[in-house]
Amino acid sequence: MAVATAAQRNALLDDFLGHKETEILMFDEKTGGVKAMGNKIMMRNLREVSAYCLHAMKRARDVNMETANKLLEFANTAFSKGKQFPSIRAEKTH
């Protein structure tokens, strides 16, 4: 979901920057930061999607950390000292 939201934000940003009413006021070559003015509705939509995108990315980060912690907890419990990773042994043939 976070990736789809970021893709939508990038598409809206491209549309805004390419729009005939958009005027680039400042561009920072170091950071890639842009200050622009243009269509008010497009600017509002871009701000809203950007805020939602930031929220989605933070949520994805938190869910990933939670999943990683659960995996580590499981691994520490299931394969603690004295326990070995289960393996499949070949059948003996005579």
89 within domain boundaries:
no
Q: How many domains does the chain have?
A: 1
Q: What's the pLDDT score for residue 91?
A: 64
With residue 53 as reference, give the H or E element that holds it: helix 40-78
85 within domain boundaries:
no
Residue 28 has what DSSP assignment?
Answer: -
34 within domain boundaries:
yes
Residue type, 36: A
8 within domain boundaries:
yes
44 within domain boundaries:
yes
- Of 15, 26, 22, 24, the C-alpha closest to 40 is 22
Name the residue range of residue 27's domain: 2-58
pLDDT tens for each residue of 10-22: 999 999 999 999 9
75 Cβ contact list (under 8 Å, min separation 6): none
90 within domain boundaries:
no
19 within domain boundaries:
yes
50 within domain boundaries:
yes
**Residue 85 scores a pLDDT above 70:** no
A 10 A CB-CB count for 74 gives 10
